[in-house]
Amino acid sequence: MTPNIARVALPVPLDKQFDYLIKPGQTPVVGGRVKVPFGRQHLVGIVMAISTESEWPVDQLKPLNSVLDGEPLWPSSLFNLLCWASRYYQYPLGDTLANAMPTLLRKGREASPASLKVWQLTPAGYDQPLSALTRAPRQVQVLNALRQGEVSHDALLAEDISAATLKTLSEKGWIFASEQQPAAADWAAHFAVTEEKPKLNEEQALAIASVNANPDFACYLLEGVTGSGKTEVYLNLLEPVLAAGKQALILVPEIGLTPQTINRFKRRFNVPLETIHSGLNDTERLSAWLAGRDNQAGIIIGTRSALFTPFANLGIIIVDEEHDASYKQQDSLRYHARDLAVMRASQGNIPIILGSATPALETLHNAKSGKYHHLHLTRRAGHAQSARHGVLDVKGLYLEAGLSAPLIAQMRKHLTAGNQVMLFLNRRGYAPAVMCHECGWLAECKRCDAYYTYHQQSGELRCHHCATQRPVMPQCGNCGSTQLHAVGVGTEQLEQQLATLFPDYKTVRIDRDSTRRKGSLENYLEAIRRNEYQILIGTQMLAKGHHFPDVTLVALIDVDSALFSNDFRASERLAQLFIQVAGRAGRASKPGEVILQTHHPEHALLQALLYKGYDQFATSALQERKQAWLPPYTYLALLRAEAHENHQVEQFLQQIRGIFEASPVFNQDTQVMGPNPAPLARRAGRYRWQLLIQAPSRKALQQLLSLAKPAIGLLPLSKKIRWSIDVEPQDL
């Protein structure tokens, strides 16, 4: 019997595949796309198997509409990785595969480069005497150009020829158009290093030799402060890979994809380079994806999703700033691009390098336990000095918009010396709450369990959790008093206060509110470099990937909120921010200074960080994690659920807890915690609860979840309640 049934994964939120009949003449392939009828719509799905039988009566199966690909979309190793990711992150296979495709492929577009429209002369066109056309100079120009050979449509338009002129000529029967595939270029044949390389220092040479000694899969942690020469190491590692005709993938955090970074790779090699990031339109995204697959790009630099690019011949993966939180996707397929990159390297048997000045505790643990090789760069190139730093105990001090008098004095000193000052505060808006001075009433979002943030610039109250906004009320909602005051400090208020304190200096605020417009972040950063602003205020956004040599004072305004957060990763993030800014403040001729304002200067982690460095901080923090049974010593999954009926959500999670506890793989090493109200217990009118599942290994966690998930889907409440599973969540 000939196999005539295709099993298809469709982009629907269901953990199953669908069978369709293959019509005579159709030749679907496993891993390729097909278009199928589904209910009243038509969907693009991926063929997972071709078979002679179905669980369903064959005469009830519908036929495929059409076959879109004659070859699999992904090389088999990447296809297998995507299937693995679907299982590991508990996300339906069809949706996972759709997530990994450029939008245009999801919509059914052909998976080949856009063809080129090219114009040529007809024999009649050749024979036209140009002298007869003196009144139509544009037509003469075209005929003349085409006498030298064919010319593309776009090239003619670029010469100011209008589409109408071409149409007229073709209607006269003098020229005709054809579609051609762009010629494939063989970049490897002309590979060259196109700039002079600096002489490596010993540590760099050692790091490079360690990686080159072994061409197979291995994971390397390259730990080195900013400016220690990590990028130079990446460039040196790429060289033999590219010279051998293999491609390189470089992942960078969302905010790290700067022209400076891209240019360093472009300057070094004459290799076609593509970038993949959120700023691309659908056509550009498909084109970059195809350039990877068809070996038309030697280097691809991109953010998180670039990991899903197919490559003809991938030789190395680099994950820069591997600790960065933007590598974790926070919705749909909740994958961690760094972790999947390690899997991808392992399946492709190629080396992978994770670079950071402040490695994630998970990564450090893997390095310390010998799973990853640990490479160090300890010296800062260019003889820059490390910044001085100190804690500023603000207990009992009067704070003006969050600033203590000693900090203000210090700022004045640096500003008078002609330098820039950078202040960090991880809270947007003017004030995190508005309070009545008479009765203490607080303006609260009606739909969330949260206070409104006051945004003075727009004169609005905004809820940062559901995006509700409303004008500021004139009176207290409880006693009617007009004495409403902002409480607490956000970046907007800090900005305003600084204008009063330092009227002679210009202040700029970099946060999500001030950089909403495309390109505005780049413009601000440029203006800062030109010293148009002297005081820079920012959230974490400002710290990443930017170097401002004239910034000599950096202050973290509110360290305590991170030290005493209920998210166990908050102190790790604080430490990373601190090292990042300390590494970037000042330069050789202008040493920098970092100040941390806190009420708890004696805090053990803070002490370790400040006086013994990131490694000691990490060692202490890892010890705490071990004692508390937290990652990387255990593996977590967070089951979130939300609905309008509070008790239903809790009840639903109770039932799920029951499913886990009854599971044959549940034992004394596994735990379910909750149901507990989520940190934000109500959002946009929905009550939110969560359940935390803990297991001793990835494998145990996956078994537990895979067995429980179908049973959860059978609970009647699962249809009424919005729920999701986040495997290895980054934010609790």
Least separation in angstroms between CB 480 and Zn ion: 7
Pick one of ligand ADP, Zn ion, none as the site partner of residue 400 (Cβ within 5 to 8 A by kind): none
Side-chain half-sphere exposure of 272, counting CA atoms within 13 A: 16
Among the residue ranges 160-168, 219-227, 435-443, 650-658, the one whose residues contact ligand ADP (CB under 6 A): 219-227
Helix, strand or coil, per DSSP, at residue 249: strand
445 assigned binding-site residue: yes
Choice from 201, 346, 386, 655 touching ligand ADP (CB under 6 A) = 201
Question: Which one, of 241, 180, 236, lies nearest residue 209 by Cα?
Answer: 236
Nearer to ligand ADP, 4 or 204 (CB): 204
**Residues in contact with 374: Cβ distance below 8 Å, sequence separation at least 6, in sequence order:** 220, 221, 223, 367, 368
Distance from C-alpha of 652 to C-alpha of 630, rounded to nearest angstrom: 25
Nearer to ligand ADP, 227 or 729 (CB): 227
Answer whether 299's CB lies under 8 Å from 220's CB: no
Residues 406-445 as x/- pattern, contact with Zn ion by CB under 5 A: ------------------------------x-xx-x---x
Residues 677-706 as x/- pattern, contact with Zn ion by CB under 5 A: ------------------------------
Pick one of ligand ADP, Zn ion, none as the site partner of residue 381 (Cβ within 5 to 8 A by kind): ligand ADP
Pick one of Zn ion, ligand ADP, none as the site partner of residue 620 (Cβ within 5 to 8 A by kind): none
Pick one of Zn ion, ligand ADP, none as the site partner of residue 516 (Cβ within 5 to 8 A by kind): none
Rule CB under 6 A: say whether 92 interacts with ligand ADP.
no
What residues numbered 448-467 form the site for Zn ion, per CB under 5 A?
Answer: 448, 463, 465-466
What residues numbered 70-129 form the site for Zn ion, per CB under 5 A?
Answer: none
Pick one of Zn ion, ligand ADP, none as the site partner of residue 438 (Cβ within 5 to 8 A by kind): Zn ion
Q: Which residue has the tokens 């090239």?
A: 155
Distance from C-alpha of 655 to C-alpha of 500, rounded to nearest angstrom: 57
Rule CB under 5 A: say whether 484 interacts with Zn ion.
no
701-708 long-range contacts, CB within 8 A, separation 24+: 701/635, 701/636, 701/637, 701/727, 702/87, 702/88, 702/727, 703/665, 704/660, 704/663, 704/665, 704/666, 704/670, 705/90, 705/637, 706/87, 706/90, 707/663, 707/664, 707/665, 708/656, 708/659, 708/660, 708/663
Entry field: residues in the chain = 732
Distance from C-alpha of 610 to C-alpha of 603, rounded to nearest angstrom: 11
Nearer to Zn ion, 468 or 670 (CB): 468
Rule CB under 6 A: say whether 86 interacts with ligand ADP.
no
Distance from C-alpha of 524 to C-alpha of 506, rounded to nearest angstrom: 12
Pick one of Zn ion, ligand ADP, none as the site partner of residue 229 (Cβ within 5 to 8 A by kind): ligand ADP
Residues 224-253 as x/- pattern, contact with ligand ADP by CB under 6 A: x-xxxxxxx---------------------
Rule CB under 6 A: say whether 356 interacts with ligand ADP.
no
219 assigned binding-site residue: no
Among the residue ranges 199-207, 483-491, 565-573, 592-600, the one whose residues contact ligand ADP (CB under 6 A): 199-207
Rule CB under 6 A: say whether 381 interacts with ligand ADP.
yes
Answer whether 43's CB lies under 8 Å from 36's CB: yes
Distance from C-alpha of 621 to C-alpha of 49, rounded to nearest angstrom: 47
Least separation in angstroms between CB 439 and Zn ion: 3
Residues 276-295 as x/- pattern, contact with ligand ADP by CB under 6 A: --------------------
Distance from C-alpha of 505 to C-alpha of 420, rounded to nearest angstrom: 10
Q: Are strands 66-67 and 33-38 parallel, antiparallel or unpaired?
A: antiparallel
Helix, strand or coil, per DSSP, at residue 44: strand
C-alpha 357 chain-centroid distance: 19
Among the residue ranges 35-43, 474-482, 646-654, 669-677, the one whose residues contact Zn ion (CB under 5 A): 474-482
Least separation in angstroms between CB 486 and ligand ADP: 40
Among the residue ranges 44-52, 220-228, 595-603, 625-633, the one whose residues contact ligand ADP (CB under 6 A): 220-228
83 assigned binding-site residue: no
Distance from C-alpha of 238 to C-alpha of 249, rounded to nearest angstrom: 10
Nearer to ligand ADP, 349 or 385 (CB): 385
Answer whether 290's CB lies under 8 Å from 110's CB: no
C-alpha 470 chain-centroid distance: 31
Rule CB under 5 A: say whether 481 interacts with Zn ion.
yes
Number of residues this chain uses to bind ligand ADP (CB under 6 A): 15
Rule CB under 6 A: say whether 70 interacts with ligand ADP.
no
User: Tell me, what DSSP letter sits at residue 676?
Assistant: E
Quote the tokens at residue 328.
Answer: 């974790």
Pick one of ligand ADP, Zn ion, none as the site partner of residue 395 (Cβ within 5 to 8 A by kind): none
Distances (CA, A) of 178 to 117, 150, 170: 6, 10, 12
Pick one of ligand ADP, Zn ion, none as the site partner of residue 436 (Cβ within 5 to 8 A by kind): Zn ion
Rule CB under 5 A: say whether 475 interacts with Zn ion.
no
Among the residue ranges 194-202, 241-249, 298-306, 648-656, the one whose residues contact ligand ADP (CB under 6 A): 194-202
Distance from C-alpha of 510 to C-alpha of 536, rounded to nearest angstrom: 8
Alpha helix segments (H runs only) across 135-187: 137-147, 153-158, 163-171
Rule CB under 6 A: say whether 324 interacts with ligand ADP.
no
Nearer to Zn ion, 78 or 466 (CB): 466
Least separation in angstroms between CB 4 and Zn ion: 54
Distances (CA, A) of 407 to 401, 421, 557, 592: 12, 11, 9, 15
Distance from C-alpha of 43 to C-alpha of 56, rounded to nearest angstrom: 20
**Residues in contact with 378: Cβ distance below 8 Å, sequence separation at least 6, in sequence order:** 203, 224, 225, 228
Rule CB under 6 A: say whether 363 interacts with ligand ADP.
no
Nearer to ligand ADP, 382 or 474 (CB): 382
Known binding positions:
436, 439, 445, 448, 463, 466, 476, 479
What residues make contact with Zn ion under the rule CB under 5 A? 436, 438-439, 441, 445, 447-448, 463, 465-466, 468, 476, 478-479, 481
The residues binding ligand ADP (CB under 6 A) are 198-201, 204, 224, 226-232, 381-382
Binding-site residue numbers for Zn(2+) are: 436, 439, 445, 448, 463, 466, 476, 479
